[in-house]
Amino acid sequence: MTRKLAKQFLERVSRCLYKQSNPSIIQKILYDLRLNLLEIRDQGLKNFLDKLAEEPIDLERLIDSVKKGLLNNPPICELLAFIEREKLITDLELNEISEQLQIQLNLLCLFEAFAVTMVNSFTLNEDIYSFTKKQRNTYYPGNPINNFFFCSNRKDFSLFKSLKLVSVDPVITEGAFIRALGDAELSQEEIVKKSKEFIRQHGLALWNAKICPPPLGEMHDDSVKNVSLNILEATWEENYKEDGNPADNAFAGATLIRLLEYLRPSHGYSFKNLVLPEKSSITEEGKYSLLPDLIVNRLPKRVSQFYVYKEWMHLYNSWNLLFVIRNLDDSKFLMLKLLIPSVLNAIPMHYMESRVFALYLMGNLYYFNKLSIFTDEIHLANAKTILDKWGEINKKYADFLLKTCCAELDETPKEVYHDIFGEHTNFSLAYHIANFIRDFDNFRITSEEFHTYAIDAP
């Protein structure tokens, strides 16, 4: 019944949408975000963007993929069923926001094309990084400390938002470098030599310069530390309830950290011909099934693989979506980074790389530009009820995962949160960040437990 109700709600939303892209909307987006100035070497994406700006393309397959992704995510599916069962969003409200939904659909189309190309192209990540460097108001755009203090041209950015953009830089610099290596099988010595040239070319410094991957097939769990700190920052930023207690979604965020540090999924690199979302494919001509006018590179490339559980990925997506909608200013744009099929329907081992590539692109575009196409706010009469229920659902799913994956620990999401933050959240955040910098090798956020189980590559 839950899935049936959720599907009914999505069908009502779908009826409000025109199932083709709108060239005038696309042109406005490209102009506002200055993507018309981006020099793209990937011919498949370049040709697609040219066509997208000139004529409508069919979006039925893209829409179906997003709908299936939402239905296959247990907490999101439960939320949509709750909305439909309680009649919290009326057809009238959907019609009133249909113009905004249409803009978001065009943005989904545009950024899915970017996302699937970023993970498969030899050149696009480097092109995007070079483009971003030009937009940064600093003499040293490859230095993360310099970027944190001097590159912002927005007065409304919080400490969290500035930290977030700086923290994803190393993923794009490494991603740009390993994709630029192409399909050649190189010795580690050759890769190190090429990395030094790449660092010099882009003026990379500190952790932005840590771009040289370990040998193919070599596994480690250092990514657990990086991702855990990333989640910690957002959990700390989460708004409190009116009574001053942490929001339910903060408990879900804390649980994501606990699960990571307990299960310790492995991370490594390997050659892959294609990185695609589930239930999608490439034709013999290289056409992408969700956007058939887009040609995707099918040659082998080095990719990053972080072997998280699908259930963890589902909680992360639902938790992060609620966090963005509730806490960030322009959630109508930024939430889409989690709804594009390359992220929403990612194969779990490719999820983190695909998500961070999309976050880097969309976060930096938002950071340095102003998207004027959203002229109206989205107002829903029952928004607070929906958001509160969403946090409750995420907390419940987090509790389910603790009992399923970490039964030996006998913990609740609330207990995990208080183990991490105690009574002084600001001090605890500063303490964990200091430990991350001071002693990365031994860094962890949650308390040591007796057993840990590493998730290795299949």
For the stretch 254-275, pLDDT in tens is 999 999 999 999 999 999 999 9
pTM across the whole model? 0.93
**Mean pLDDT (whole number) for 304-318:** 96
Distance CA 74, CA 79 (A): 9
Is a pLDDT exceeding 70 seen at residue 47?
yes
Identify the pLDDT of residue 138.
Answer: 72
Is a pLDDT exceeding 70 seen at residue 244?
no
Residue 155: band (very low, low, confident or very high) from pLDDT cuts 50, 70, 90: low
Percent of the chain with pLDDT over 90: 66
Are 80 and 1 in contact by the 8 Å Cβ rule? The answer is no
* C-alpha separations of 45 from 20, 87, 116, 175 in Å: 18, 41, 10, 18
Identify the pLDDT of residue 456.
Answer: 47
Identify the pLDDT of residue 371.
Answer: 82
Identify the pLDDT of residue 160.
Answer: 60
Distance CA 3, CA 326 (A): 25
Is a pLDDT exceeding 80 seen at residue 164?
no
SS3 265: strand
- Name residue, tokens 């040293």: 140
The residue segments making up the domain with residue 56 are 2-123+210-220+266-378
Report the sign of the C-alpha dihedral through residues 120, 144, 250, 362, in that order: negative
The more confident residue out of 205 and 72 is 72
Least confident of 8-12, 76-80, 330-334, 406-410: 330-334
Identify the pLDDT of residue 175.
Answer: 94
**Among 200, 312, 170, 308, CA closest to 253:** 312
**Mean pLDDT (whole number) for 208-234:** 88
Is a pLDDT exceeding 50 seen at residue 453?
no
Identify the pLDDT of residue 291.
Answer: 97
Count of structural domains, the chain: 1
**Mean pLDDT (whole number) for 430-445:** 85
* Residue 90 resides in a domain: yes
* Residue 201 resides in a domain: no
Is a pLDDT exceeding 80 seen at residue 166?
no
Is a pLDDT exceeding 60 seen at residue 451?
no
* Residue 339 resides in a domain: yes
The more confident residue out of 168 and 124 is 124
Identify the pLDDT of residue 88.
Answer: 97
Is a pLDDT exceeding 60 seen at residue 454?
no
* Residue 242 resides in a domain: no
- Convert the pLDDT of each residue in 328-384 to its tens digit: 767 788 899 999 999 999 999 999 999 999 999 998 898 888 888 877 777 889 999
Q: Are strands 287-288 and 291-295 parallel, antiparallel or unpaired?
A: antiparallel
Identify the pLDDT of residue 362.
Answer: 93
Identify the pLDDT of residue 222.
Answer: 84
Is a pLDDT exceeding 60 seen at residue 450?
no
DSSP single-letter state for residue 344: H
**Mean pLDDT (whole number) for 207-224:** 86
Least confident of 143-152, 177-186, 191-200: 143-152
The more confident residue out of 114 and 163 is 114
Is a pLDDT exceeding 80 seen at residue 139?
no
Distance CA 274, CA 251 (A): 36
Q: What is the mean pLDDT of the chain?
A: 90
Least confident of 102-116, 281-295, 433-447: 433-447
* Residue 303 resides in a domain: yes
The more confident residue out of 185 and 55 is 55
* Residue 84 resides in a domain: yes
Most confident of 367-381, 392-406, 442-456: 392-406
Identify the pLDDT of residue 242.
Answer: 65
Distance CA 102, CA 100 (A): 5
Task: Provide the residue type at 273 as one letter.
Answer: N
* Residue 57 resides in a domain: yes
Is a pLDDT exceeding 60 seen at residue 156?
no
* Residue 359 resides in a domain: yes
Are 211 and 198 in contact by the 8 Å Cβ rule? The answer is yes
* C-alpha separations of 450 from 261, 263, 265, 408 in Å: 12, 12, 17, 9
Identify the pLDDT of residue 328.
Answer: 77
